[in-house]
Amino acid sequence: MSDAPVVDVRENLRLLGTAHIATSSVEAVRQQIAEYQPDIVAVELCKSRYEALISDRRLDKEGLLKVIKEGKAPMVLMQSMLSAEQRKLGINEGQQPGAELLAAVEAAKEVGCEVALVDRDIQTTLRRAWKRMKFREKWRLLTSLLDEEDEEDLDVNELLQDSDLLSSMMEELKGFSPGAGEVLIDERDTYIASKISGLGEERRVLAVLGAGHLNGVSSKL
């Protein structure tokens, strides 16, 4: 049996928490779909994050200026915090971020389950978070990116792909910037809970979420 956290909110609604880039999380997703036999598998992804997960687009440093000009600077700056989290967690290059979310979508489709993407659009979330940050907080975030000595390509999509790593970054950001943290964590918990509730109580729903969102979402359902 998997030790992945599970919360049964009601008879027809189960939440499954996943861990960072772990084979056990992928196994837990498939196991829960087989055992719980849901009608719908709800996944903590928006369309943008899902598309990033199934593609292999990378942002090299030559494209950084273009990204900033396109108004995507908040995502790039927050990527620096993701890089710090990756180093602390000791993530290996060969591990695939977000594998458990992709497994949830694939396993659901294999057995004919409906898939629901229940997260708010990441661009909307990051823009709102950016606006809530104070100037000194933005400056510290920018400085952390400029001080980055890693010469590897900046992989912005990793920010979009790994739900639990994203949650870990969000918790750190909440302490760093309470305003942004409220947008990134609390608002998203409320949004996700609302989307799950909107799926209806008559159908059996399994929701696959980053473990960092499990308590917040379950408390709002």
Structure tokens at 167: 């949650």
Report the DSSP pairing between strands 40-43 and 6-10. Answer: unpaired
Query: Exposed, middle or buried, 29 (CB in 10 Å: 0-12/13-18/19+)?
Result: buried
Report d(CA 157, CA 173) in Å as an integer: 18
Q: What are the pLDDT digits (tens) for 175-215?
A: 778 888 788 789 999 999 999 999 988 999 999 998 778 88
Structure tokens at 15: 């939440």
Q: What are the pLDDT digits (tens) for 97-153?
A: 566 788 889 889 999 999 999 999 877 887 888 888 888 887 877 676 566 555 444
Question: Residue 93: is its pLDDT beyond 50?
Answer: no
pLDDT for residue 173: 65
CB count within 10 Å of CB 164 equals 26
Question: Residue 58: is its pLDDT beyond 80?
Answer: no
Q: Cα angle at 28 between 110 and 194, to 5 degrees?
A: 80
**Residue 48 or residue 45, greater confidence:** 45
Query: How confident is the prediction for the chain on average, in pLDDT?
Result: 75
Q: How sure is the predictor about 62, in pLDDT bands with cuts at 50, 70 and 90?
A: very low
Q: What are the pLDDT digits (tens) for 9-32?
A: 999 999 998 865 556 777 888 899
pLDDT for residue 191: 97
